Structure 1
Amino acid sequence: MKSTEEINIRTKLSILAIGLLSFLGILIETSMNVTFPTLMQQMNVSLSTVQWLTTGYLLLVTIVMATTAYLLKRINVKKVFLFAVAINIAGSFLCAMAPDFLILLIGRLFQSASTGLATPTLFYIIFRTIPMQKLGQYNGFAAMLISLAPALGPTYGGILNNYFSWRIIFWIIIPILFIVLWIGSRNISLETKKEDLSFDFIGLFLLALILIGLEFTLTQFSKYGLDYRFQFSLFSTLVILFVYLVYDHFSSRHLFDFSILKPIVNLRLFNYFSLQAINIGLSFLIPIFAENFLKTNSLLAGLILLPGSLLGAATAPIAGSWYDKVGAKFPLILSNSLIVFGAFLLWIFTDNLTIWLIMFFYLILRLGFNLGFGNTMSDASKYVDNKKRADQSSLFNMAQQYAGSIGTAVMSAMIAFQSIIFSNISSSKATLIGGRLDFAILFILAILSLSLTIFCQHLIKKNNQSISNQ
């Protein structure tokens, strides 16, 4: 393992460049949430349609991330970075000048492919260049960028949408992307140990069908409830999932090396997924709740998340350093406990929520999230062979991105579903009832995540005892 003295300035700037590229992609993703009411009016589309700017983005990010385990074993990091920046710039121009919803969506998909390449590459560089005794600190920095962006996005989008135009959201980041390009092109030098592998196109196709199928199933639920269209979509997706599992078992080609998924890694992966589902779900739900039920403007709806965002940004690197000193047990249990408490408060007080209450409860949730998010992945890496770090980075980041997509889709579906149950229900009332269900779902997910985190610590203790007895 490399010594800490070998973390030179070029390595730090490489991490910064790819981290900023990932940050910008996620920032734009959530900055669009507060513009949905505006876009629905300007482009004459429904909430179930406009939310594809987020869920479609996250869906393609997830699919692209599935390819990075292969790409990072075959292509130098610098080439991956340059391509990611190029398609992000192209997508930003398309979005800024989009004459209709379709062009806007296409531009967002370009940007999603960029983020899908950038985020796993960020963690891959950290795993390859940072020593284990500093891993928590640097993963904390990466987690800060990834978790800060979703919460800052509504504030950023709300200010620009309220005072200028949603198009300015994209115009501002274009010059920043060129700065990122300059920093990365001058400093990224990590060479890939090229392996003789064949890409699993069939596996990627089946995986994409599964991910799209789950999203489509939730869309059918939000439009038609539990009728035959929802049932058929769910059944079809489960059939494709079965086909994929059989194919992967017998195929000689694999998108990932699933041998890394040992019990402890599986539990950490679920925790990682849950944390991001709650994080992105709330970043979508709270601005919608504030605008539709509390009748705030898009600026205030975005600003609600700002204090929690800043607290999270300050917490993540400190949490990483704490993990480096004391290990995973206390940071992760405290993290999940705070999330359970915050989600419980949002659920119990749904009918009486105010701007200030939401802001306070969200502070608790963000503190919990940032105590655990980066550390969860850091701890899982202890149980993964160095040669398989690309697989871990790809798999964990794919999971957290899809968690965001599913989280957004579920939050949206619960609100949209109210108009099916109750005829002539107002948008405000649908948001209240759907929001209450959403907060309850997040609370249950948080309890499950805490329970499995505690169980994981039991497995780690048992594993350590087994090793010491050998």
Structure 2
Amino acid sequence: MTRKLHLFAAIIATGLLSFSGVLIETAMNVTFPILIEQFHINPSAVQWVTTMYLLVIAIMVPLTNYLLKRFAIKPLFIIANLLFILGLSLDLLAPNFAILLLGRFFQGFGTGIGLPLMFHIILTFAPLAKRGLMMGIGTLTTSIAPAIGPTYGGLLTTNYSWHYIFLFLIPILVVSLLIGLYAIPYQKTNSTSSLDTLHLISLAIFFTGMLMFLNEPTKPLNISLFFVGLLAGGYSIRRAKTSPQPLLHLDVLKKRPYTIALLSFLAIQALFLGGSFIIPTFIQISLGYNAFIAGVVMVPGALISALLAPVAGRLLDRVGPQKPIIGGLTVACCGLLLLILACWQKSIWLLVLAHATYSIGTGFAYSNLMTAGMNSLAAAEYGDGSTIFNTLQQFIGAVATTIVATIMTVTQAHQSSITAGTNLGSLIGLACLFVLIFSALISCLGFFKKMQSK
């Protein structure tokens, strides 16, 4: 009983840290129109509030895979928590855009360590029969947080100031730290593995080059960075194959069940982050509501995600992955079509219904895709498999945010008004997200059908 209590408390501690980290991804999205005016920047610049943060996480997660092999869990958790609190404090007092980005850097550093810790604890200490439920509880933090982020950010921005978004998270981090000091095991490590620095640097160059290009694809410097990023990505893959101790082993990608689950999971992550940018922006600019209303619209979907994550995990434990994943992706596609119609009709009530509908679908599919992918691996592959999930989760979130922000910037610049540009940009962005989710559904249908025929 004591062991189960400690496991649950450890998941709660790392879950609170991860929840805060993922919440802050989208909580600032509703403030973008305010930040653009306050700091005199354009949409392509302001989206770096999210992109900078996700970029740091994407770089840190693979590094954390190495850190978990060399250092005990508890001190890593403490460092992650303190760095996150430092980032929150900087942004609470940020007098300019540069300091705001610096604070986001430290928040990304802390989240990049804390997020893999949660899944490491679940995969290491939770029994297989309970793994679906535990992964559901853990993934709850990464699925509900993006949805309620705009609500949280909108409420505080409208009634106080965007600075309070960071202030109100500090007590949560303190509680997380106290629970973690009690519950997280020290777990000594005996590994003598060394850090492949070249592998880490090449990954960082790849992520940065891709995001810089997507942010402003016509800029000559960013075109150059794109090709530099491609070269760095190719070198990173080569290091993974030839280095005696690579940062990541990519052999897990050869397993079809894992890869199908990973790509479908990333499609939903793109929907989370891309949708969390599009919907609040559309509500404020196209429909004329304030940041608070833009956040409130996301509440029903957020509550649905909160209720479904552990339920969906329990369902996988009982009936397997096929029904919740296929059913969830189907409902998500229907919800997205409804969302496109809501933006076309400019109906806020239809928009609420559409967001709630696709949240039902993603609630059943999201955590179960990660669980199904991880269950297809051997125990020795959990570290690399989880790291790839978490790294690409953050990177695809940054890519999705960057792409929809770029679409919005371009359409606003080429339409007769900002409102008309936002309308068109929202529809184009949502159409792109629908293609991703529909592709994930077709891939999973084909895979499960092939498995049944065998």
When normalised by structure 2's length, the TM-score is 0.96
> Is 1:426 the equivalent of 2:417?
yes
The CA RMSD over aligned residues, in Å, is: 1.7
Deviations 1:193-251 (A, max 9, x none): 43221111111111111111111111113xx4xx7566444333323322333333332
Q: Equivalent residue for 1:252?
A: 244
Q: Offset at 1:388?
A: 2.3
Q: Equivalent residue for 1:242?
A: 234
Deviations 1:152-209 (A, max 9, x none): 1111111110011111111111122112111101111151543221111111111111
> Is 1:24 the equivalent of 2:20?
yes
**Residue 86 of structure 2 aligns to which amino acid in structure 1?**
A
Q: Equivalent residue for 2:442?
A: 451
301-310 or 68-77, which deviates more? 68-77
Q: Offset at 1:132?
A: 1.2
* Secondary structure at the counterpart of residue 105 of structure 1: helix
Q: Equivalent residue for 2:127?
A: 131
Query: Contact (CA 8 Å) 2:52, 2:105: kept in 1 or not?
Result: yes
Q: Equivalent residue for 2:75?
A: 79
Query: Contact (CA 8 Å) 1:209, 1:240: kept in 2 or not?
Result: yes
The correspondence of residues 7-406 of structure 1 with structure 2, limited to 5 A, is: 8-189=4-185, 191-221=187-217, 224=218, 231-261=223-253, 262-406=255-399
Q: Offset at 1:348?
A: 3.9
Cα separation, 1, equivalents of 2:220 and 2:162: 38
Cα separation, 2, equivalents of 1:132 and 1:456: 23
**Residue 340 of structure 1 aligns to which amino acid in structure 2?**
C
* Secondary structure at the counterpart of residue 356 of structure 1: helix
Change in Cα spacing, 1:329 to 1:192, as seen in structure 2 (3 Å) is: farther
Q: Equivalent residue for 2:428?
A: 437
When normalised by structure 1's length, the TM-score is 0.93
* Secondary structure at the counterpart of residue 195 of structure 1: coil
Query: Contact (CA 8 Å) 1:281, 1:411: kept in 2 or not?
Result: yes
Cα separation, 2, equivalents of 1:271 and 1:234: 25
Query: Contact (CA 8 Å) 1:264, 1:459: kept in 2 or not?
Result: no
Deviations 1:106-158 (A, max 9, x none): 01110111111111110110011111111111111111111111111111111
130-139 or 247-256, which deviates more? 247-256
Which blocks of at least 5 consecutive residues in structure 1 are unaligned?
466-470
* Secondary structure at the counterpart of residue 384 of structure 1: coil
Query: Contact (CA 8 Å) 1:264, 1:460: kept in 2 or not?
Result: no
Cα separation, 2, equivalents of 1:148 and 1:341: 20
Q: Equivalent residue for 1:468?
A: none
Which blocks of at least 5 consecutive residues in structure 2 are unaligned?
none
* Secondary structure at the counterpart of residue 8 of structure 1: helix
**Residue 391 of structure 1 aligns to which amino acid in structure 2?**
D
Q: Offset at 1:442?
A: 0.7
Q: Among the aligned pairs, what percent are the same residue?
A: 33
Cα separation, 2, equivalents of 1:193 and 1:387: 15
Number of aligned residue pairs: give it.
Answer: 453
Query: Contact (CA 8 Å) 2:326, 2:441: kept in 1 or not?
Result: yes
**Residue 375 of structure 2 aligns to which amino acid in structure 1?**
K
Deviations 1:244-287 (A, max 9, x none): 33333332231112222211111111111111111111111100
Cα separation, 1, equivalents of 2:187 and 2:222: 47
* Secondary structure at the counterpart of residue 166 of structure 1: coil
Q: Offset at 1:334?
A: 0.6
Q: Offset at 1:410?
A: 1.1
Query: Contact (CA 8 Å) 1:7, 1:129: kept in 2 or not?
Result: no
* Secondary structure at the counterpart of residue 253 of structure 1: coil
Q: Offset at 1:419?
A: 4.2
Cα separation, 2, equivalents of 1:461 and 1:68: 37
**Residue 45 of structure 2 aligns to which amino acid in structure 1?**
T
Cα separation, 2, equivalents of 1:17 and 1:189: 12
**Residue 418 of structure 1 aligns to which amino acid in structure 2?**
T
After TM superposition, where is structure 1 displaced by more than 3 Å over at least 4 residues in a row? Answer: 227-236, 458-462
